[in-house]
A and B are shown apart, each in its own frame.
Chain A
Amino acid sequence: MYNPTVARLTYRALLGRRRALILFILPGLLLVTAIAVRLLTGADDQTTADLLGGFALGTMVPLIGVIAGTGAIGPEIDDGSIVYLLAKPVKRPVIICTKLLVAVGVTIVFSAVPTLIAGLVLGGNSQNLAVAYALSAAVASVAYSAVFLLLGTVTRHAVVAGLVYALVWESLFGSLVAGARTLSVQQWALALGGKVADGGLVTSDVGLPAAVVLLAVVTAGATWYAGQKLRGLTIAGEE
């Protein structure tokens, strides 16, 4: 379920585009903020949880997921260059799984790793907070990548749709409506992080078993459906 050539093309396309700048800007902002907070206020677990939960997991991870997930396939479909991948005897699910792996890898490198570093800077992994949030970010990276890769396959407006989900649904509705939090990748990921952290600072509205099942179902379902959509992808001509 992996094709190294597809992976190479996807990876280079993803990091070669202008929007990839966001991949560097957001983690940079997190690290600069973490250093500033640490220097100004010293180590404080509540501050660490607020910054990693609010900015890292609440904003940075989904945004990077949108960039990596949609960017792994959307632009190729938009400009038609996907034809060079599709005109090959490569199974469509292999193309999707490979692109998912690249998107997950990029999202983890640019979100989970900086989250871990920021956590260590802020509080030296006090109460396992750095590891817990990094784990949550890594888990969320997988689900976000799958969902946004699917969006990139089914709609030309994948970035907008992804941003609406990440910022409007998860951040806005998630903070106002309790029910919305149940259907939130962020909350599912936090359920796993909560098991690792001590002191009850990492909490989720979703129980661990439900979170694991939902993460698995959404990731597998989105990946399968994206493979199906790619099999039936129609490429219109110039006419």
Chain B
Amino acid sequence: MTTLTIDHVSRWFGNVVAVNDITMSIDPGVTGLLGPNGAGKSTLINMMGGFLAPSAGKVSLDGRQVWRNEDSYRHIGIVPERESMYDFLTGKEFVLANAELHGLPDPGAAARRALATVEMEYAESRKIATYSKGMRQRVKMASALVHDPSVLLLDEPFNGMDPRQRMQLMELLRRMGEDGRTVLFSSHILEEVEQLADHIEVVVAGRHAASGNFREIRRLMTDRPHRYLLRSSDDRALAAALIADPSTAGIEVDLAEGALRVQAVDFPRFTELLPRVAREHGIRLLTVSPSDESLESVFSYLVAA
């Protein structure tokens, strides 16, 4: 059972602050590091993996600092986002080299086991240069698992995988989490994190925006004010009926667009209210369109919350 601790960690590159005073603890189980592109996830993972020194703060593994501590790699397995590998090697040679570098007593057996875990034996004799993105991802995974690490760090592991490969990898990571390993993966896709992570850490613009299980994060996201663009057969009558209900906080008649802009503060109630009000008043709904459903706007709300 290994815990990775990030203690008031910041990292800046010149004038750019990539990670801003983040404190979190990654415990055994599967943790999703969620955030939009450019949020600082990779920078954070690189610091957790000992490839980047924090400008301030400390990253430690069971109390021992990770940066400049080669021995920590006995416990950590890393799946980097970058595609570059030793393309001139076959998959088997690559995983075997990783096993040897870990100084394992039987590197051949460890490499075979790791390749079997990711179901890549069928292509193990092919050069990595000939692999698809998904195959590369799985071989990277095998190289990270070859020494049976207690901590696994994966940077955007599902990128480029087809749905079947994605499901297999999710199943594997879930199993590893259930075995008591500390698994952390980053993603900018909410659904991936939702399906896999027991615990979620949300990072936006280098800051730690939220932390908790998926339900808590989802509630935060769902409870935020939602904005909708509505068009109907009678906009003004619809506006009058909607504003009477406490689930709406504001309605604007957008003359240029010929539409209503509605801000809903109670999402579940509003979704039930709108069709009912329309039916009761004999109003025909022509457009119901969420205008701020992008992940970025959801994240921005979390940061402000």
Note all chain A residues with C-beta closer than 8 A to B74: 89
A87 touches B81 (CB 8 A): no
Chain B minimum-CB-distance residue to A92: B70
Note all chain B residues with C-beta closer than 8 A to A236: 13, 43, 46, 52
Known contacts being A238-B82, A239-B42, A239-B43, is A88 close to B37, with CB within 8 Å?
no
Q: Contacting chain A: which of B84-92, B257-265, B278-286?
A: B84-92
Q: Does A54 contact B (CB under 8 A)?
A: no
A231–B40 alpha-carbon span in the complex (Å): 23
B53 touches A88 (CB 8 A): no
B37 touches A239 (CB 8 A): yes
Known contacts being A81-B85, A234-B53, is A3 close to B40, with CB within 8 Å?
no
Query: What is the distance, in angstroms, from A96's C-beta to the closest C-beta of chain B?
Result: 13
B70 touches A235 (CB 8 A): no
Known contacts being A83-B78, A234-B52, A236-B52, is A89 close to B102, with CB within 8 Å?
yes
Query: What is the distance, in angstroms, from B266's C-beta to the closest C-beta of chain A?
Result: 36
Note all chain B residues with C-beta closer than 8 A to A6: 101
A79–B82 alpha-carbon span in the complex (Å): 8
Note all chain B residues with C-beta closer than 8 A to A3: 101
Q: Does A157 contact B (CB under 8 A)?
A: no
Note all chain B residues with C-beta closer than 8 A to A13: 86, 88
Query: What is the distance, in angstroms, from A233's C-beta to the closest C-beta of chain B?
Result: 8
Known contacts being A234-B52, A236-B46, A239-B41, is A80 close to B71, with CB within 8 Å?
no
Chain B minimum-CB-distance residue to A235: B51
Q: Does B68 contact A (CB under 8 A)?
A: yes
B76 touches A87 (CB 8 A): yes
Known contacts being A16-B88, A81-B84, A81-B85, is A90 close to B70, with CB within 8 Å?
yes
A89 touches B70 (CB 8 A): yes
Number of interface residues of A (CB under 8 A): 31
Query: What is the distance, in angstroms, from B187's C-beta to the closest C-beta of chain A?
Result: 13
B37 touches A87 (CB 8 A): no
Q: Does A85 contact B (CB under 8 A)?
A: yes
Note all chain B residues with C-beta closer than 8 A to A89: 70-71, 73-74, 102-103
User: B80 contacts which of A80, A88, A91 (Cβ < 8 Å)?
Assistant: A80
Q: Does A195 contact B (CB under 8 A)?
A: no
A79–B86 alpha-carbon span in the complex (Å): 10
User: A12 contacts which of B43, B88, B98 (Cβ < 8 Å)?
Assistant: B88
Q: Does B57 contact A (CB under 8 A)?
A: no
B52 touches A235 (CB 8 A): yes
User: B143 contacts which of A12, A84, A239 (Cβ < 8 Å)?
Assistant: A84
Known contacts being A89-B70, A89-B71, is A239 close to B18, with CB within 8 Å?
yes
Chain B minimum-CB-distance residue to A233: B51
B40 touches A239 (CB 8 A): yes
Chain A minimum-CB-distance residue to B99: A5
Best-surrounded residue of B50, B73, B89, B101 (most CB of chain A within 10 A): B101
Chain B minimum-CB-distance residue to A4: B100
Known contacts being A87-B76, A89-B73, is A237 close to B97, with CB within 8 Å?
no
Note all chain B residues with C-beta closer than 8 A to A90: 70, 101
A interface residues, Cβ below 8 angstroms from B: 3-6, 8-9, 12-13, 16, 79-81, 83-92, 231-239
B interface residues, Cβ below 8 angstroms from A: 13, 18, 37-43, 45-46, 49-53, 68, 70-71, 73-74, 76-78, 80-82, 84-86, 88-89, 97-98, 100-103, 143, 155
11 pairs, A vs B, C-beta closer than 8 Å? A12-B86, A12-B89, A16-B88, A80-B82, A83-B78, A83-B80, A84-B97, A87-B78, A90-B70, A91-B70, A239-B18
